[in-house]
Amino acid sequence: MKKILFMILLMIPFFVYAECDSKVTISKLELDSKKGYAEELEPSTYECNNIKLNIKMHNKDDSIIYNLTIKNNSDDDVELSDNFNSESEYIVYKIEDSNLVVEKGKEKTFKLSATYTKLASPTLLVNGTLEDNQVMNLSITTKDENPNTSSTSIFIITVVLGISIITIILLITNKKHAPKYMSLLLIPVLVIPVVVYALTKFEIKLESKVVIAEPKERAIEPVDIAEYPDGKTKATVEVGDIVTIAGEEFYVIKHDGEDLVLLAHYNLKVGYEYETGSNVIKIYNSSTQGYGLQSSDVKGYLGSGTSKGVLAFAETNYWTNKVGEGLDYPESYCNLSTLEIGKDCAYVYDENSNLYEYVEAYKSYLEEKGETIKSARLLRIEEAVEVGCEPNGHSCSNGPAFLVETSYWLGSASSFQQVWLAFANMSISAQNYNVKERFGVRPVIVI
């Protein structure tokens, strides 16, 4: 009978200790969101203060965020430390909240994030995954370490002390069997320090198995910050409507499938100012107010007076070097007297043009403001004809006035020496590529 009693007394503390008896416990763990190509290979689980994650990351900045609800069972407010202690050089775990205090007797939900911070070294990859699969055991603790004096903890200590007292009594009253009972003294010696340590520090333990897989190509989600006329959308705007992007205005010149092709309202404030007689009177540079953006004051050559924002199309007729490379420019030069709508003409604008750096810089500016720009270029001669310029006579008088509101270079060549352009006198024409005092930069963007 005594042996049975002793066995029961021995088992009680371990059954009680198996219960979750911490001053702070996990009451809920739910997936909140995923970024990039992050995946859950298995649903997350938790028990008492233990979290288990099994996730997969592909690219830098992939992340998974969980809603972690923590309950404070104590009679005092507790504050968590700000992040998990992790030695991983690939995954960062963090509690994404500024206020880490959990009030006494209450629950609070935090954002627990796991973020892939850099690409894995190829030397660590085995069949597409890291050799050790990034298995990590982490912990987050409370900032204070006040003892947890819950009733269950007190009961554990009471039981262990009770065993100690009973053992001492048995040793005194049963000297014959003293060696047998002596081993029971090991129970308080071993259990009490463990319990005391558990009462002085709280930890949430996280076991995370992370598979770092082959990087995936990210799909770029288009962003459209354009402002359309009242009641219209990208799909319903018409030729001639004005669309505003980051304060810059554009005319709609056509729909191209799901894309919208837009012509800048004005020329860019770049290049030079020339007075009559081809004398430079001003050079625009980065210190010029409004440099690189559209300006209503910059319209190129207006028939007389100062030409503002002008420069040569190129320093050489570089496109002639491309004959024989399959471009076959001689046959594709367009004569407007016989031009058919829909025909592709020799489009020669590229990085060799003096205008290229300004168009690209303007594109970057709009992208920095948040717009997704699919391409930026100059107007094609066939687009000018489609919008309303007449093939015969080069007149645009019957077309929309905005097309020839300024003087600017097009991107199409009319010959080995000349490039198409728009005059602010209601016509289109062609002049030598190195004319520098008349025509400016009026970009076309596709969104």
- Which of the residues in the chain have pLDDT under 70? 1-22, 81-89, 118-164, 167-204, 208, 212, 214-223, 277, 321-332, 335-344, 391-393
pLDDT, tens digit, 9 for 90 and up, residues 73-114: 888 888 876 556 555 567 778 887 878 888 988 999 988 888
Q: What is the pTM of this model?
A: 0.53
Q: How far apart are CA 340 and CA 343, in angstroms?
A: 6
Q: How far apart are CA 261 and CA 238, in angstroms?
A: 11
> For residue 356, what pLDDT is reported?
96
Q: How far apart are CA 243 and CA 230, in angstroms?
A: 11
> For residue 131, what pLDDT is reported?
36
With vertex at residue 361, the alpha carbon angle to CA 423 and CA 283, rounded to the nearest 5 degrees, is 60
> For residue 193, what pLDDT is reported?
55
> For residue 143, what pLDDT is reported?
55
Q: Which CATH superfamily does the domain covering 18-145+202-212 fall into?
A: Immunoglobulins (2.60.40.10)
Collapsing DSSP states into helix, strand and coil, what is residue 85? coil
Nearest-10 Cα torsion for 220, 226, 232, 235: -30
Residues 201/80, Cβ–Cβ less than 8 Å: no
Indicate the DSSP class of residue 53.
E
DSSP string, 38-58: -EEEEEEEEETTEEEEEEEE-
Amino acid letter at 171?
L
- E strand residue ranges, 216-258: 242-245, 248-256
